[in-house]
């Protein structure tokens, strides 16, 4: 059994990030920018994964379109226009991400990968995972990348259920449903390694005062978060001290990674695996990233954060395009405030999170204090 030590052993433990290690196996700091578009353009121009001229030209074209749609989304005052602009920006950013991975070199034959089944509006509509011959289904390829596996053909997704999985508007959702909140903030996340077995894992700490409101045992909480296959409960103290007047619950990642000479070799890989169950908010002020886990006693279908935002953008974009009356009705009904908050907040969050993944650096929007 591994005897883990917090990494690095001789200094302050390395803070968690989706991309903690950069070139030369150096620890990466958060990069601040008012706009990531030029960083993305420069990166794609130099990316070795875009090995063909067609792939590079396509990625740069998709990026240009993504920026144009995003700028239009930001500047328009029409709430009814924002969802469609948002989705087409996400679609093109998703294409950039898929090309940059090197798995695809040509997306000229691609399709959305989703079908909107109009069954009466927000409360009844479904999204259906679709494939068409040899065309690349963008949504399911992104799901393969972020969920760890694609959805099965004809899989049905309920948009109303996805709304509860958006961190930035979740408390509004909870208020409107008069239900228990489904997100718990993470107190700390740290990397651990064993010099003998040469294994690296991650420990996630929850404030017990924070999770007490869920009225669950520790094991039930882990099960309800749908993390029980990848994580286990261990009795370990947090490296940065306990929260004031409380104690912590520790989850340890089961799928440890082995390294050859340095733990830094595998920190990015294990972070990407862990992020399939950890939700992130990018901030302008410290802490620049807040982390959450999703807890639902009913264990209904859940998805990785970017997949949730992408699917909802497709759905609302389709709604304003084909049934604008249903969209207008949804804005004036029970979840209208949640829907509007999603439309206003989802764009910047998706942009900075997917830009971080393309650039492979922790990226946050800069504020006045960073100059």
Higher-scoring residue by pLDDT: 150, 371? 150
CA angle (36, 37, 38) in 5-degree steps? 100
Confidence of residue 369 (pLDDT cuts 50, 70, 90): low
* Backbone torsions φ then ψ of 258, nearest 5 degrees: -95, 140
Q: How far is CA 212 from CA 224, 235, 248, 314, in A?
A: 14, 17, 11, 36
**Count of other CB atoms within 10 angstroms of residue 46:** 9
Q: According to the model, what pLDDT value does residue 273 have? A: 93
- Give me the half-sphere count of Cα atoms (radius 13 Å) on the Cβ side of residue 272: 17
Tens of pLDDT, residues 285-312: 888 899 999 998 777 778 899 999 999 9
Q: Residues 223-244: what's their mean pLDDT?
A: 91
Buried b (16+ CB within 10 A) or exposed e, 79-103: eeebbbbbbbbbbbbbbbbbbbeee
Domain limits of the chain?
5-24+187-277, 34-176+305-370
Quote the CA–CA distance of 51 and 67 in Å, as a whole number: 23
Quote the CA–CA distance of 50 and 151 in Å, as a whole number: 26
- Sequence-distant (6+) residues with CB within 8 A of 137 are 110, 111, 112, 113, 129, 130, 131
Query: What does DSSP say about strands 199-207 and 257-258: parallel, antiparallel, or unpaired?
Result: antiparallel
Tens of pLDDT, residues 50-64: 988 999 999 999 999
Residue 14 scores a pLDDT above 90: no
Quote the CA–CA distance of 100 and 314 in Å, as a whole number: 22
Tens of pLDDT, residues 76-112: 999 999 999 999 999 999 999 999 998 899 999 999 9
Residue 371 scores a pLDDT above 50: no
Helix, coil or strand: residue 336: helix
For the chain, give the mean pLDDT: 92
Q: Residues 143-171: what's their mean pLDDT?
A: 91
Residue 163 scores a pLDDT above 60: yes
Residue 222 scores a pLDDT above 90: yes
Both tokens of 65, joined, read 């379109």
Quote the CA–CA distance of 353 and 119 in Å, as a whole number: 32
Global pTM reads 0.93
* Backbone torsions φ then ψ of 157, nearest 5 degrees: -120, 130
Confidence of residue 363 (pLDDT cuts 50, 70, 90): very high
Residue 351 scores a pLDDT above 60: yes
* Crossing angle for the helix pair 336-359 and 170-177, to the nearest 10 degrees: 150
Q: According to the model, what pLDDT value does residue 178 have? A: 82
Confidence of residue 271 (pLDDT cuts 50, 70, 90): very high
Q: According to the model, what pLDDT value does residue 368 have? A: 47
Both tokens of 327, joined, read 């969209």
Helix, coil or strand: residue 33: strand
Q: Residues 30-46: what's their mean pLDDT?
A: 95
Q: Rg of the chain over CA atoms, in angstroms?
A: 21
Q: According to the model, what pLDDT value does residue 153 have? A: 87
Q: State the alpha helices, DSSP H only, in the chain.
A: 37-46, 53-75, 82-100, 138-146, 159-162, 170-177, 208-211, 218-224, 267-274, 305-322, 324-331, 336-359
Q: Residues 104-128: what's their mean pLDDT?
A: 93
Q: Residues 67-84: what's their mean pLDDT?
A: 96
Quote the CA–CA distance of 55 and 94 in Å, as a whole number: 14
Judge contact between 201 and 253, C-beta under 8 A. Answer: yes
């Amino acid at each position: 059994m591994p005897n883990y030590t917090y990494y690095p052993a001789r200094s302050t433990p390395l803070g968690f990030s989706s991309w903690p290690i950069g070139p030369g196996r150096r620890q990466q700091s958060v990069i601040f920018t008012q706009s990531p578009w030029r960083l993305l353009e420069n990166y794609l121009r130099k990316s070795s994964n875009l090995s063909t001229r067609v792939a590079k030209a396509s990625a740069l074209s998709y990026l240009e379109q993504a920026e144009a749609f995003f700028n239009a989304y930001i500047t328009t005052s029409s709430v009814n226009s924002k969802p469609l602009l948002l989705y087409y920006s996400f679609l093109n950013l998703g294409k950039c991400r898929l090309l940059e991975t090197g798995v695809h070199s040509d997306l000229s034959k691609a399709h959305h990968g989703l079908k909107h089944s109009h069954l009466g509006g927000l409360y009844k509509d479904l999204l259906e995972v679709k494939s068409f011959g040899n065309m690349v289904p963008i949504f399911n390829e992104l799901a393969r990348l972020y969920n760890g596996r694609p959805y099965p053909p004809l899989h049905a997704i309920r948009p109303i259920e996805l709304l509860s999985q958006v961190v930035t508007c979740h408390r509004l959702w909870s208020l409107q449903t008069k239900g228990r909140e489904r997100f718990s903030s993470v107190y700390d996340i740290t990397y651990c390694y064993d010099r003998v077995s040469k294994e690296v894992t991650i420990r996630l700490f929850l404030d017990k005062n924070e999770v007490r409101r869920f009225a669950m045992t520790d094991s039930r909480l882990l099960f309800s978060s749908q993390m029980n296959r990848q994580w286990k409960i261990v009795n370990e103290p947090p490296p940065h001290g306990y929260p004031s007047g409380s104690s912590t619950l520790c989850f340890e990642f089961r799928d440890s990674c082995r390294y050859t000479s340095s733990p830094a070799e595998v920190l990015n890989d294990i972070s990407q695996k862990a992020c399939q169950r950890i939700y992130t908010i990018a901030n302008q002020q410290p802490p620049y990233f807040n982390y959450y886990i999703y807890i639902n006693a009913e264990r209904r279908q859940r998805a990785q954060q970017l997949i949730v935002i992408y699917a909802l953008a497709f759905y609302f974009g389709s709604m304003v395009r084909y049934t604008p009356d249903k969209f207008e009705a949804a804005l004036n009904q029970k979840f209208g405030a949640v829907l509007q908050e999603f439309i206003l907040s989802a764009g910047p969050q998706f942009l900075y999170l997917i830009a971080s993944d393309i650039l492979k650096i922790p990226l946050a929007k800069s504020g006045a204090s960073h100059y």
